[in-house]
Amino acid sequence: MLKVLQSPLLRQYAVVIIANFSVLCTGLNLAWPSPVLVKLSNTNETIFSRPITEEEGSWIVSIGFLVAIFFSFLPAVLLDRIGRKQCIILSSVPKVVMCLIFTFATEIWMLMLGRALGAVADIFSFTVVPTYASEVASKEIRGALGTILQILCSLGILMMLSIGPFTPYVTLNAIFTGIVVILSIPLLFLPDSPYFLHSKGRTEEALNVLTFLRGSEALAQEEIKEYSFTNDIKPKKIDIIKNRQFLKAFGIVLVLNIGSQLIGFNAVTFYLQTVLESTETSVRPEIASVIIGCIQLLASFCTTLVTDKFGRKPILGTTLAGTAVGMIGLGIFFRIKESEGQISGFMNYLPLISLILVVFCYSAGPGSVNWPLCSELFDGPSRAMGLTLAGIIGSLTLFLTLKYFALLTTALGPSVTYWMFSVNCILFCMFVLFCIPETKGRSFAEIQDLLGQKKDRPEDA
């Protein structure tokens, strides 16, 4: 199917886009609570005998990320055993089961079970797909291909925000199920990662895949030389953890994962329609959520076009500053609303403008750049372990942020909560500017050299 594409670059784009079909399904799942919580809280729309409480809603949103923490080790175990392709395919199974549970749910605990299964599958997608994309991509376009994850995730979010508010609960989840099943079929036709094939001694297969993706056997042979250097060294897990370069990369990735949650984007977007309804402005929440979904998708496209031109650090620094401004705007709106009560004129649109700025900047920055950057910072033998360990901490932070976002806004007030997020944005921006190496246009070997690893190695392709 992919052989009809003549250009090697188009082949790489096609392979990575298909792999990210898994992430599109994740985007649908991430946005699912936004329209569904509103339905379940409404006496006329809920599928249960009564509307759900705020506490039950917070558990439906967050419980999956708590459960995922205990299963986050699976990608590290399976990535290097069964391969990247098989892990991507495997992640589709719990997503289908999740959708069926959502469709036929009769009790609140069933929704929580579905969310738990979906989160475990999403952990696979967000760990395996960036790894796979970084290993099939040429170093010249690795950044752009890495940001496709955010594009497909944003597309899934937009689809859910566009369909969810206007569709009955059961119909919505039947559509969700159909999309997941259809998008899982092309995953069967993906080539496996050439790095994984080589690590298992299947050098001829790795060479064939690389030749197909690079369009030149000479380029493929050069890349195989670097694989040989890396795979000749097979460290034990404990040796990886003790390695100074791994610890430095892990520290950076850990802050990237935690920082991305503490700036508040996910806390806002998971409760998006609820947040919009709380503003009590004249803008319809369901329309505003669709607009915001479109902005998120546009931002992801923009990053794909510029990430290999401007580099990771300038994009992250600029967008984090923009996210801080958006959070400050939300805080100002809620403070004025608290003090004056009545909202009119420009103030009707300030929360929507602020949310658009937050969504655009996050999607163009941390949401798009973090995934390829995290994959780039680890070398081949440590990539699965590093991304998995960082993912566990990130999932825990995300769970705490989502579970206690509603409680935080009640205890501190929404204005103080959003201003706190803005301060976190500024601190995160400072870390990016002063502590992260620029990886644009560099091979994995060159990136390890930046982290302090100086060894004799073959020339990079």
Does 362 map to a domain? yes
Print pLDDT tens along the chain (461 aa).
565 567 878 888 899 999 999 999 999 998 898 889 888 988 888 888 888 888 888 888 888 878 877 877 777 778 878 888 999 999 899 999 999 999 999 889 999 999 999 988 988 888 888 888 888 888 777 777 877 887 898 899 889 988 988 899 999 999 999 999 999 999 999 998 888 888 888 888 888 888 888 888 888 888 787 776 655 556 666 767 777 778 888 888 888 888 888 888 877 765 565 666 655 656 676 777 777 778 878 887 777 777 667 778 888 889 999 999 999 988 888 888 777 766 666 777 788 788 888 888 888 888 778 777 877 787 766 777 777 777 777 777 877 777 777 777 778 888 888 899 999 999 999 998 888 888 777 777 777 777 775 544 444 43
Q: How far is CA 450 from CA 5, 31, 275, 370, 442, in A?
A: 36, 38, 43, 18, 10
Does 381 map to a domain? yes
Contact by Cβ (8 Å): 151, 22: no
User: What confidence score (pLDDT) does residue 281 get?
Assistant: 58
Does 39 map to a domain? yes
User: What confidence score (pLDDT) does residue 273 get?
Assistant: 59
Does 283 map to a domain? yes
User: What confidence score (pLDDT) does residue 186 get?
Assistant: 93
CATH number of the CATH domain containing 273 = 1.20.1250.20
Does 44 map to a domain? yes
Does 222 map to a domain? no
User: What confidence score (pLDDT) does residue 3 get?
Assistant: 58
Contact by Cβ (8 Å): 419, 327: yes
pLDDT digits (tens, 9 = 90+) for 299-355: 877 777 776 677 788 888 899 999 999 999 888 888 887 777 666 667 777 887 888
Q: Any idea which residue has 């607009």 for tokens?
A: 291
Boundaries of domain holding 281: 2-192+233-450
Q: What is the 3-state secondary structure (H, E, C) of the chain?
A: CHHHCCCHHHHHHHHHHHHCHHHHHHHHHHHCHHHHHHHHCCCCCCCCCCCCCHHHHHHHHHHHHHHHHCCCHHHHHHHCCCCHHHHHHHHHHHHHHHHHHHHHCCCHHHHHHHHHHHHHHHHHHHHHHHHHHHHHCCCCCHHHHHCHHHHHHHHHHHHHHHHHHHCCHHHHHHHHHHHHHHHHHHHHHCCCCHHHHHHCCCHHHHHHHHHHHHCCHHHHHHHHHHHHHHHCCCCCHHHHHHCHHHHHHHHHHHHHHHHHHHCCHHHHHHCHHHHHHHHCCCCCHHHHHHHHHHHHHHHHHHHHHHHHHHCHHHHHHHHHHHHHHHHHHHHHHHHHHHHHCCCCHHHHCHHHHHHHHHHHHHHHCHHHHHHHHHHHHCCHHHHHHHHHHHHHHHHHHHHHHHHHHHHHHHHHCHHHHHHHHHHHHHHHHHHHHHHCCCCCCCCHHHHHHHCCCCCCCCCCC
d(CA 66, CA 158): 25
User: What confidence score (pLDDT) does residue 426 get?
Assistant: 94
Number of domains within the chain = 1
Does 204 map to a domain? no
Does 459 map to a domain? no
